[in-house]
Structures are given as C-alpha cells and as structure tokens.
Structure 1
Amino acid sequence: MGNKRKSKYVGSCGIYVFLCCPGTAPKLLVHRRSKQVSEPLSLAAPGGIVERSLCGVSEDLRWGAQCTALKELGEEAGIWLTELQAEELLDLPAAPGAYWGDGTHFNFGFVFEEIPEVTGPERDSVHEVVRDGLDGIGEPAGDGFHAWVELDELLEHPELMPACRDPIEHFARQGLKVAPGRRLCSDSQAKAPLAKKPRGSVARALNK
C-alpha cells in the first residue's frame, strides 16, 4: 500500500510573556485573535502550530514547540528573545484536549522585570490578530495590537481563550515564587527537564 506520508504539522504551543515589575501586580501580554484563526475574537497569548521540520532529525516535539513558540512571539508581537533568554524559558502546564492529542501542546513562559519593546506583528502575521482589539482592557503595549493585562482581570474576562486559563492560573499561584529567568515546574511535577537539544540552542536554530 506504500508509505503513508507524515503530516507536516505535529503539535501546538503557546508562549506567555509576564511583566513583573517590583511593587506592581504581574501582567501578561495578550492580543485578540482575528476571525481568520481558531477560537476567533478570544483573548490569548501568542502561539502557533508546530511543524515537523522544526523538531529535528530526532523528531523531538518539545524542542520543536520551543522553536515555534519563540518564532511566534517574534512574528506576532515583535519580541525576539536573545539566545540567553531563550534558554531561560519557563515550563507551564497545558490543558487537556489538544488538537493533535494529549501531550502534543506545550506552553512556555518568560518573565520581564522591565517593559520590553513590543513592535507588533510582522506583515505575514497581521491577519491573525485584531488591531485595537484590546481597547479598554489592560495597558496598551504600544503596538496597537497587544496589551499588558493583570492576571486577575484576565482570568475574570469572559473572552479569555479557555486553553489559556491553566498556564495563567498556574503562574498566578506559583510564578512569583520563582525569580525571573528561572524554570517553573508544573503542578504535578510531571514534566521532565528539557530534552537534550538535538542542535545547538533554540534561538540559534531560528537564526535569531
């Protein structure tokens, strides 16, 4: 019958950028998803679909998800983490029910202590987010698409994308116990340390 062609897409990911300035409540960078993507018009963090090609020859899905998360953060928000920052991503839990099956969605996070520059989506990603979609919600991030929203406000918002709730709630409970740039384990402690990287650093793999 011949070999069945492997799917180009193998999973999904989200990346949660927290702002934890001293003396203020933690905030999360979010945008409103457009009508052209799944979960239209919901509030969400950047994220995307993981392509098999980013998983390396060993087909390390978690590695591919990290690469994708960093790529999506750059393309959707204009934040390109440095190679050092990319090695300091937090592990955040994922809700069950991922499109490609349980264990195929990965959430990562990063904590800034100072407001980073948010330049907004690149041309090929503009269609994924709504301009001025966060009017009246949180504090504008300066690009016309994103806003910094306090976690409590976000968790109470009826338009928050359901899959975003678990990682935000987890960070709200435990994130402040971990210094910026330190790894955060999931509630169950079930996630193993990052798999051995098949090829250099994540950031270098993306040529960024």
Structure 2
Amino acid sequence: MTASAQKGHNQFGNLPVWDLSDLYPAKDSPEFKADLEQAKADAATFEATYKGKLVELTKAGQLVAAIKDSEKLGDLTGKIGSFSFLQYAQKSTDPDRAKFMGDTNEALTNLSTKVLFFELELNRIEDADLEAAFAADAELARYRTWFAELRKAKRYQLDDKLEELFHDKSVTAYSAWNRLFDETLSSLEFEVDGETLNMEATLHLLSEKDET
C-alpha cells in the first residue's frame, strides 16, 4: 500500500457507532432491568396459565390467546437479547460487554425454559382437532403456515426432559463457542506498513486498487 493509500485509509477519523438508545439508555439502566424482570414474571405467568392445557384450549376455541401471549413475550425477550448482542458487537473485545451479554443470555435461557413446553405441546395436538380449530376461528387460521413449519419438527421431538436439558445446555454449548470465535477474531492484530490493523481493516486492504 502506497503512502497516499495509507493516508486515505486513516482519513475517516472516528467513525459513527450504533445508537442503541431506542432500545435502552444503557446496559445498567433501570429500563433494561425492569424489562428483564417483567420478562421473567411473564414467563412464569405463561407457564402457570397454559402448561398442560393447550389440547383442551384448542378444542374450546381458545388457543389463539396463548399464541398472542407467546408473541408478546417473544417481542420483549427479543428486544432484551438484541440490545445485549448489539452492545457487545460494538466492541467485542470489552470484557464488561462480553460479561453483560453472557449474563443476559443466561437469564433469557432460564426464563425461556418455562415456556419451552409451548411448542412441544402444540405438536401434540391432533391434526383433526387443529383443522377444526382453524375452521372455527379465522384469527387462529392466520397462523396455519406457522403451525405447518412448527410441525415439520414433530417427528424429531424428544421427551420433554431431554428437550429441556438440551435447551439449558445451549448457554455453554454452541453459543459459547460462537462467542469465543468472535472474541478471538476481534482480538487479532496485524502489522501493515508500520500500522497496527485489526482483522476487518486488514482484509479490507485486499480490495485496494493500489496493490503496492
């Protein structure tokens, strides 16, 4: 890389960063903590309200309420998880951010264990009962495609205890290795013409028009 190219590489100064304030003001903000506690409470309520009752609710024409409650909880946990990941992605070499994401993922996994039964029980509903429910409830029928996708996994569904075990282990299984991989790549540095560059900046040089 020539001197002019090197100069061009450094001319941008401080680049913009994501503004995550639309999600939460900060990772230690009262808003984040309140939403996490709300998600835990909602998961417990969802379990107490619907576990072991989905077949009966289907026959009674009341299944759509459970689906809507599940969506509401999913929106909240999705917001929490997105903020946790994005603040980590801003600077994955920061141990505080990594710990925050790890702690948040663990909390989300623990609360989602309470609602793991939902999709497992939905797959135990007899096809005839589900079709009858679709015919009787136009709002429920809107979820027909979602049910079709969900029931593709029915033949591979394990015992509830095994499903719960694999779910609990996800924090220390593939997701932990993915995080280690990201942190390792982010920490790599390379000397290029006397300048220390990270992996992304180094790979970007491969697209430089000036190959010298």
Compute the TM-score of the two structures, normalised by the length of structure 2: 0.28
Q: Which has the higher strand share?
A: 1
Q: Which has the higher helix share?
A: 2
Structure number, greater radius of gyration: 2
Greater relative CO, 1 or 2 (CA 8 Å, sep 6+): 1
